[in-house]
Structure 1
Amino acid sequence: MDVHDTAATGAARCPMYDGSFAADPQKVYDYLRAHGPAGPVELAPGVDATLVVGHETALRVLQNPALFARDGRRWTALNDGRVPLDSPVLPMMAYRPNCLFTDGAQHLRLRKAVTESLDRLNVTRIRRDVEPIAAYLIDQFSERGRADLINDYAKLLPLLMINKLFGCPAAIGDRVTSAMADMFDGRDALRASDELTACFMELVSLKRREPGDDITSWLVQHPAGLSDEELKDQLVMLVGAGVEPERNLIANSLLLLLDREGDNGPSMQIEDALDHVLLNNPPIANYATHFPVQDVDLGGVVVQANSPLVISFAGANSDPVLTSSGQAHSRGAHLAWGAGPHACPAKSPAQVIAVTAIELILNALPDLVLSVPAQKLEWRPGPFHRALATLPVQFSPTPATRMASAYGSSTAPRPAAVQQPAPAARVPAPAAQKPAKKGFWSSFLEIFRV
């Protein structure tokens, strides 16, 4: 494990952005825990933080908003110019006026709008929206007999599902999908973040004029009276909560279920597999950045005021104190959904989406198996997520007919174009323009006429 020297509590500062951390993050959690319930880390080059790995200490931070604020404008190192403005972690840590990065009355007002809008979703609605998206994606690769369940399925399904739940029309949805994919994959993340912001401002404007049966419209119509800027930032927050974590929850659970060499994965129920992943391989392993309003002692580890304090959900879940108390394997004992006033507001929809997506692909491709041993799979570097780079599988090729048969999409051929007389020889025909390539969302909408 590569570490940097630091005087803090005898622990060295551990980098969390390289391949060695991605390969074995538990080694870092165990190392820090040997020195205390929290320790020094480097989230990205030039971005220092303190990582909480103790379960009891994590709860203390999460449940005490008066002492541990979420407002990133407090961040001393960023305000002093000591954090690179092009750092890949800034979009995940810098202040936005949404219910993730606010405190007090502002947080309560914004969170009420978000939670009450999400509460309008129900299991039937979510399953109804997931099923055609899953079928559409499976049909893209079912005839090949092989797939990468990350890039072909687990990555795309939450992207398209967000478009559906937000009520995105084709043009905006294609741009949202592309920007989200670039942002979460680290491809020019700041530009992608700006594009996502522009898309959501357009979407908010559209829904003010033409409301629909979707989350964006519900937020627009909420009695809290959110401004366009506030609406845009709540949508950005929901994307952060609904895409990367959902992708990893689906993929990590599929890995567990398909690992024939694992202890009990192949015999698990899907819901049990999700709980196992949330405890042992949480999709967002380290996040919930807090900024202490004063210097604070965390079990002998002194954290300076207004410096980033990150919760390791994975580290807290693996705390031996939790294991020895017998709580670790109790359903819901993990901290993967957070705790306190900033606990994840989308816990129920996220679980329904994951269960439905996993159930549908296992039913559609019943002989699905891993193409490589589970232990040879690579994990994507990054300080916040626990994310597979790929999940290659193979199965018996299946005709791509599920969409039409199961969901009644129109398969009737379109009317043939009316033949026009050829132009006179002296008048050159206009050059044919190559049609713009459709994105996944506009292609999906065209097939399902939704």
Structure 2
Amino acid sequence: MSAAGGTFRQPEGQHPLPLHGPRFDADPQATYEKLRATGPIAPVELAPGVYAQLTTTYEAAQHLLTNTPRLFVRDPKRWDALREGSIPPDSPVLMMIQDRPNALWTDGAVHERYRSAIADSLQKVDTLALTRTVTQIADGLIDAFADRGTCDLVADFTALLPMQTMFGLCGCPADIGGRIVGALIKLFDTAQDAYAANAELERACLELVLRKRADPGNDVISRMIRHRAELSNEEMVQQIILVIGAGTEPLTNLIGNALKLLIADDRYAGTVAGGVRTISEALHAVLWDDPPMANYSPLYALRPMQYRGVQLEPGIPILVSFAAANTDPVFRTPAPEQRAGNHAHLAFSAGAHACPAKSLAVHIAQTAIERVLDRLPELTLDCRPEELTRRPGTFHSGWTSLPVTFPPVTVPHSEEAAWTPQPDPQPAPSGSTPPAAISTPKPPTSAPRGRPHWLNSLARWWRGQ
């Protein structure tokens, strides 16, 4: 591969399949099957004129992830196209895999320093308080549409709950939070204005860092600032982008994909209420069959090498396809029930860069789904399943909308203030004292109605896509 005419030229003698566009968005698995037929690592087009390689099998994905940094590294500065300046600065793909000084794109001691600040800060999250907070947020969102008998579970629930939850964990004010997530959505959907979105994202995160330095609390961001890693403002900005990015958009997709399975798939619909299957089973079925991050974690070979007959060059990014790995027919068992308790999927990556918050993500998703099914037990998809459309984008997998109907539920009006982000509670004075809730819990029927104005605006933005 080489640069020519200001673009990254198509590899000679190859015709990479695109990981973008209406055909890919409509049926990603069809593309993975075609790529798998060409080899365990195949050439792909990430965006018009932007080429890379993609793992197509479980074995290849595991090989790359578990041999980092011995054979492969994360540093995007090794990308030939980036060094040659042949990718436009406003490329939506560039915004997602460009060099950033955070735990995702670094290796060795630098990676360990960044990762320890994130992992240590997340490890101190009080899961009991988190359950109460997610329950309260979920109930508040459900209350806003419960009496209508209809809603779009993406716009009205799954796109909003992870944001509010992350802002609570991070002690992030709603005004900054709205700007952060609005920009992240554009980056994940590989929007054409990604360059401007990335600039706005970094400005908003810097404002959050400066506020937390001036007025720290007992939240994830404040703990990262106080961490022994002594992160600079720029480093803090990039860790926040990683933490909030990983904790919102993928979690939106995970919850939405699981709800779609529970509502519309004959193997699961109605089985949770009847005690046949559990929400945990549905979540792990999604992590196997439709992981929220489909293709990501680009790696670079340290030297020219071959993998099962495929030539790998140091300057070419190799993306890991979690979606192709988990659905590899050579590896997977045919039926979901045969995978019960099998967590060998790669939805949370593996190796040195495996997600440090996977248990928190599953906990939040399960709590949120429980509230939906408890509050609205007779959910029905308000269209044929084949009419649902996937969100556009190379990197993630989710639904643009999940329209549902249900028997309307009357929600008593509450005069209490709407939920606002709160930090983690202060540690309990003793092991026998229950931890305080992030915010005062209340019965589901009295959860606050309405949402902060920026959330309503964001929901309208979603409906307009």
Interval of TM-score (by shorter of Structure 1 and Structure 2): 0.7 to 0.9
Do structure 1's residue 60 and structure 2's residue 63 form an aligned pair? yes
Superposition deviation, residue 7 in structure 1: 4.5
Do structure 1's residue 142 and structure 2's residue 146 form an aligned pair? yes
1:114 and 1:390 map into 2 onto residues whose CA distance is 32
With normalisation by structure 2, the TM-score equals: 0.83
With normalisation by structure 1, the TM-score equals: 0.86
Deviation string 1:289-330 (CA, Å, 9 cap, x unpaired) is 111121221211112212110001111111222136999825
The one-letter amino acid of 1:323's match is R
Deviation string 1:326-385 (CA, Å, 9 cap, x unpaired) is 998252111111000000111011001100111111111111111012222111221111
User: SS at 1:439's partner residue?
Assistant: helix
Which residue in 2 is equivalent to 1:439? Answer: 454
2:204 and 2:121 map into 1 onto residues whose CA distance is 20
User: What does residue range 295-444 of structure 1 map to in structure 2 within 5 Å?
Assistant: 295-323=304-332, 329=339, 331-401=342-412, 406=443, 438-440=453-455
* Cα pair 1:15 1:42 within 8 Å, conserved: yes
User: SS at 1:366's partner residue?
Assistant: coil
User: What does residue range 233-312 of structure 1 map to in structure 2 within 5 Å?
Assistant: 233-259=238-264, 261-267=265-271, 268-312=277-321
The one-letter amino acid of 1:271's match is S
2:148 and 2:392 map into 1 onto residues whose CA distance is 29
The one-letter amino acid of 1:15's match is P
* Cα pair 2:74 2:298 within 8 Å, conserved: yes
Deviation string 1:216-236 (CA, Å, 9 cap, x unpaired) is 001011111111111111000
Superposition deviation, residue 182 in structure 1: 3.9
Do structure 1's residue 218 and structure 2's residue 229 form an aligned pair? no
* Cα pair 1:294 1:304 within 8 Å, conserved: yes
Do structure 1's residue 128 and structure 2's residue 139 form an aligned pair? no
**Worse-matched range after superposition: 268-277 or 205-214:** 205-214
* Cα pair 2:411 2:446 within 8 Å, conserved: no
Superposition deviation, residue 66 in structure 1: 2.2
* Cα pair 2:147 2:410 within 8 Å, conserved: yes
* Cα pair 1:129 1:161 within 8 Å, conserved: yes
- Deviating 4+ runs (over 6 angstroms): 324-328, 407-411
Deviation string 1:248-306 (CA, Å, 9 cap, x unpaired) is 100000000001x5223431311000000000011111111111121221211112212
The one-letter amino acid of 1:368's match is L
1:301 and 1:185 map into 2 onto residues whose CA distance is 30
Which residue in 1 is equivalent to 2:161? Answer: 157
Between the two proteins, the alignment pairs up a number of residues equal to: 412
In structure 2, do the counterparts of structure 1 residues 33 and 137 end up closer, same or farther at CA, with 3 Å as the change threshold?
Answer: same
Identity across matched positions, percent = 43
Question: In the alignment, which of 7, 28, 35 is matched to residue 25 of structure 1?
Answer: 28
User: SS at 1:323's partner residue?
Assistant: coil
In structure 2, do the counterparts of structure 1 residues 313 and 368 end up closer, same or farther at CA, with 3 Å as the change threshold?
Answer: same
In structure 2, do the counterparts of structure 1 residues 305 and 398 end up closer, same or farther at CA, with 3 Å as the change threshold?
Answer: same
User: SS at 1:277's partner residue?
Assistant: helix
Superposition deviation, residue 397 in structure 1: 1.6
1:15 and 1:386 map into 2 onto residues whose CA distance is 16
1:441 and 1:215 map into 2 onto residues whose CA distance is 26
User: What does residue range 1-80 of structure 1 map to in structure 2 within 5 Å?
Assistant: 7=12, 12-64=15-67, 65-80=69-84
* Cα pair 1:58 1:311 within 8 Å, conserved: yes
* Cα pair 2:413 2:446 within 8 Å, conserved: no
Q: Once superposed, what is the RMSD of the aligned Cα atoms?
A: 2.5
1:317 and 1:402 map into 2 onto residues whose CA distance is 46
Q: Which structure has the greater CA radius of gyration? A: 1
Superposition deviation, residue 407 in structure 1: 7.0
Superposition deviation, residue 237 in structure 1: 0.6
Superposition deviation, residue 189 in structure 1: 2.4
1:442 and 1:23 map into 2 onto residues whose CA distance is 27
Deviation string 1:42-90 (CA, Å, 9 cap, x unpaired) is 1111210100011111111101112211011111111112222211112
Runs of 5+ unmatched residues, structure 2: 1-8, 272-276, 417-441, 459-465
2:106 and 2:225 map into 1 onto residues whose CA distance is 19
The one-letter amino acid of 2:33's match is D
In structure 2, do the counterparts of structure 1 residues 321 and 361 end up closer, same or farther at CA, with 3 Å as the change threshold?
Answer: same
The one-letter amino acid of 1:253's match is A
In structure 2, do the counterparts of structure 1 residues 134 and 16 end up closer, same or farther at CA, with 3 Å as the change threshold?
Answer: same
The one-letter amino acid of 2:107's match is D
Superposition deviation, residue 104 in structure 1: 0.7
